[in-house]
C-alpha cells in the first residue's frame, strides 16, 4: 500500500517510523517531512495546506491513504476536499472533516459540545466586543486565577491565566477590542480555573467504534519545574503513573464514551484521532480541551508503545471495523526528551549542524525540526529532535534518553533535564 503522511514534525516522523515496520507498506511518502522522514520514506516538498498540490501528488504517486498529522489542514477542510473531488473521494483520509475539526478550531464549539453531552469540564461563558461589560461581570463572579481563551486557533498562545481581576479585565478588553490574537480573539471564552494535574488520553475512532491508545503526559513549559513560556512540548512520558484503573474507567465512562456518542448524536462524522486533554481534580477527570490530531511530543511515546501494525489500525479505521481489532500495547514505559534550539520558543537560529546521531544506542531518535544538506543534518526549527527510550518504568526510560543525549551536539542545543519531575 502507498501511504502519504502530511506534516513535518516529530509526530510525523514517529508515524513514518511505525508505518514503515508494516509489511503492507509499498511506498511511504511524507509531505513535507524532515531529515528523519527522508531516511524512512520519500519526502515531497509541498505545503499540506495547498490542497491542489496534495491532490497532484496523491494521483501521481498512486497514494491509497492519507494520514493528516497537524490540525491546520483539518481545520481548513482537507478531508472535505477529498470527499468532494471525484478523483480523490475513495481515498481514505485519517483525520476528521472540517465541521468536527471545530472541536479544536473553536473553544466555544468544544465547550458547547461538552455541555450538550454532559461531559465534565470547567464552567464557562463566551463573550464578544458587544458583550464586553457582561464579560467583566462574569469575571467578577469567579475566583482568581482567571482563565481567558481566544476562541480560534492561536498557535498555542491564545490561553491566558491571570491572578489579578483588574489585569484579567484589561486582557479581556485587549483580546476583544484590540484583537490581541487577531481574528482568533473576536470571541473569548472565560473559564473557571481548575486546580489539578494534567494528562492526555488518545482515542482512534472510525465514527462508530473506538480504541483507546496509551495515555501520556507532556511537559509544555520551556523551563525546569514547569516555569517560563509555553512551548509545543519539551518531553513526554507514557503511561501516566497516577492514572490508575479506577481513574481510567471514569475517563472512559464519563468522557470517551459520551464524546464518541456525542459525535453520532450531533451527526458529526469523525474518522481519526481524538486527543483529550484532561485534568484530575480530587480524583475526578475533567476535560480541558480537545484536539483533533495526535499530540507532539506525546506521539513519540504513545506510538512506540503500540505493538499492533499501524497500517492495520488505519485500514480498520477507514473501513469502520475498529471493533474487530485487538490493540496490543507494550507493557514497558516510554519517555521522550525534546532537544530544542537555544532561544526557543522565542527567536532562535537555524542551520546548525547536528552531530553524534550515529552513536545513539537503545533509544529512538525522532526528527522534528531538521533538514538534510548533502551528508549533513541541520537544525531547521525550534524543536529539533525527540529522543525516545523504553524502560521498566519512566525513570529507567528517562535515564536512557538522557544518557544518549550526551552524545548529540549542535550549537546552542537546549533541553529540560527534569521531565517527569512532578510524578
**Residues interacting with ligand AMP, by CB under 6 A?**
122, 147, 149, 159, 191, 193-194, 198, 277, 288-289
In terms of Cβ atoms closer than 10 Å to its own Cβ (0-12, 13-18, 19+), residue 90 is exposed
388 lines the binding site for ligand GLY (CB under 6 A): no
DSSP 267: T
Q: Residue 257 in contact with residue 237, Cβ under 8 Å?
A: no
- Residue-wise over 121-140: b if at least 16 C-beta within 10 A, else e? bbebbbbebebbeebbebbe
126 lines the binding site for ligand GLY (CB under 6 A): no
171 lines the binding site for ligand GLY (CB under 6 A): no
Residues between 50 and 109 that touch ligand GLY (CB under 6 A) = none
296 lines the binding site for ligand GLY (CB under 6 A): yes
Cβ proximity to ligand GLY, 296 vs 309, nearer residue: 296
Look-up of cell digits 550515529: 358
298 lines the binding site for ligand GLY (CB under 6 A): yes
Cα angle value 180/297/282 (rounded, 5°): 80
Q: Distance between CA atoms of 121 and 189, rounded to whole angstroms?
A: 13
Choose which of 97, 185, 215, 291 interacts with ligand GLY (CB under 6 A). Answer: 291
Q: Distance between CA atoms of 308 and 306, rounded to whole angstroms?
A: 6
Selection from ligand AMP, ligand GLY, none that 198 binds (CB < 5 to 8 A by kind) is ligand AMP
Q: What is the 3-state secondary structure (H, E, C) of 397-421?
A: HHHHHHHHHCCCECCCEECCCCCCC
C-alpha cell at 209: 467504534
Strand partners, 166: none
233 lines the binding site for ligand GLY (CB under 6 A): yes
Selection from ligand GLY, ligand AMP, none that 233 binds (CB < 5 to 8 A by kind) is ligand GLY
Contacts of 368 (CB under 8 A, 6+ apart): 9, 10, 13, 34, 296, 338, 381, 383, 384, 385, 386
Selection from ligand AMP, ligand GLY, none that 71 binds (CB < 5 to 8 A by kind) is none
Cβ proximity to ligand AMP, 152 vs 207, nearer residue: 152
Cβ proximity to ligand GLY, 258 vs 295, nearer residue: 295
Choose which of 295, 345, 381, 420 interacts with ligand GLY (CB under 6 A). Answer: 295
Q: Residue 233 in contact with residue 222, Cβ under 8 Å?
A: no
Residues 192-221 as x/- pattern, contact with ligand GLY by CB under 6 A: --------------------------x---
- The nearest distance, CB 310 to ligand AMP, in angstroms, is 26
Cβ proximity to ligand AMP, 81 vs 124, nearer residue: 124
Beta strands in 33-150 (DSSP E): 42-43, 65-68, 93-94, 124-128, 146-150
Kindly indicate which of the ranges 80-88, 291-299, 373-381, 399-407 contains the residues binding ligand GLY, using the contact rule CB under 6 A: 291-299
Kindly indicate which of the ranges 130-138, 293-301, 340-348, 358-366 contains the residues binding ligand GLY, using the contact rule CB under 6 A: 293-301
Contacting positions for ligand GLY (CB under 6 A):
218, 232-233, 291, 295-296, 298
Amino acid at each position: 500500500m502507498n501511504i502519504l503522511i502530511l506534516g513535518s514534525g516529530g509526530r510525523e516522523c514517529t508515524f513514518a517510523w511505525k508505518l514503515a515496520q508494516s509489511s503492507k507498506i509499498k511506498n511511504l511518502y511524507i509531505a513535507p517531512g524532515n531529515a528523519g522522514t527522508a531516511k524512512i520514506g520519500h519526502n515531497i516538498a509541498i505545503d499540506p495546506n495547498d490542497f491542489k498540490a496534495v491532490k497532484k501528488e496523491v494521483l501521481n504517486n498512486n497514494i491509497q491513504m492519507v494520514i493528516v498529522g497537524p490540525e491546520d489542514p483539518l481545520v481548513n477542510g482537507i478531508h472535505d476536499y477529498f470527499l468532494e473531488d471525484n478523483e480523490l473521494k475513495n481515498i481514505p483520509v485519517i483525520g476528521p472533516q472540517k465541521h468536527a475539526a471545530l472541536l479544536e478550531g473553536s473553544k466555544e464549539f468544544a465547550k458547547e459540545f461538552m455541555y450538550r453531552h454532559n461531559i465534565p469540564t470547567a464552567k464557562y461563558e463566551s463573550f464578544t466586543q458587544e458583550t464586553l461589560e457582561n464579560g467583566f461581570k462574569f469575571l467578577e463572579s469567579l475566583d482568581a486565577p482567571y482563565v481567558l481563551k481566544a476562541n480560534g486557533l492561536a498557535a498555542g498562545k491564545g490561553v491566558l491565566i491571570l491572578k489579578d481581576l483588574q489585569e484579567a479585565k484589561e486582557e479581556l478588553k485587549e483580546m476583544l477590542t484590540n484583537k490581541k490574537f487577531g481574528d482568533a480573539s473576536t470571541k473569548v471564552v472565560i473559564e473557571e480555573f481548575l486546580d489539578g494535574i494534567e494528562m492526555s488520553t488518545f482515542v482512534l475512532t472510525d465514527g462508530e467504534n473506538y480504541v483507546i491508545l496509551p495515555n501520556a503526559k507532556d511537559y509544555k513549559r520551556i523551563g525546569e519545574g514547569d516555569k517560563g513560556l509555553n512551548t509545543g512540548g519539551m518531553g513526554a512520558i507514557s503511561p501516566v503513573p497516577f492514572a490508575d484503573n479506577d481513574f481510567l474507567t471514569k475517563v472512559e465512562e464519563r468522557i470517551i464514551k459520551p464524546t464518541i456518542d456525542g459525535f453520532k448524536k450531533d451527526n458529526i462524522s469523525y474518522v481519526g484521532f481524538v486527543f483529550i486533554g484532561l485534568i484530575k481534580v480530587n480524583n475526578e477527570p475533567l476535560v480541558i480541551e480537545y484536539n483533533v490530531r495526535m499530540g507532539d511530543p506525546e506521539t513519540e511515546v504513545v506510538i512506540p508503545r503500540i505493538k499492533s501494525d499501524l497500517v492495520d489500525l488505519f485500514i480498520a479505521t477507514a473501513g469502520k471495523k475498529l471493533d474487530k481489532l485487538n490493540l496490543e500495547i507494550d507493557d514497558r514505559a516510554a519517555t521522550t526528551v525534546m532537544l530544542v534550539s537555544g532561544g526557543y520558543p522565542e527567536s532562535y537560529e537555524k542551520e546548525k549542524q547536528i552531530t553524534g546521531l550515529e552513536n545513539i544506542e537503545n533509544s529512538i531518535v525522532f526528527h522534528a525540526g531538521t533538514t538534510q544538506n548533502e551528508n549533513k543534518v541541520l537544525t531547521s526549527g525550534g524543536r529539533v529532535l525527540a529522543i525516545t527510550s523504553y524502560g521498566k518504568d519512566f525513570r529507567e526510560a528517562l535515564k536512557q534518553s538522557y544518557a544518549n543525549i550526551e552524545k548529540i551536539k549542535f550549537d546552542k542545543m537546549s533541553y529540560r533535564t527534569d521531565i517527569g519531575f512532578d510524578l
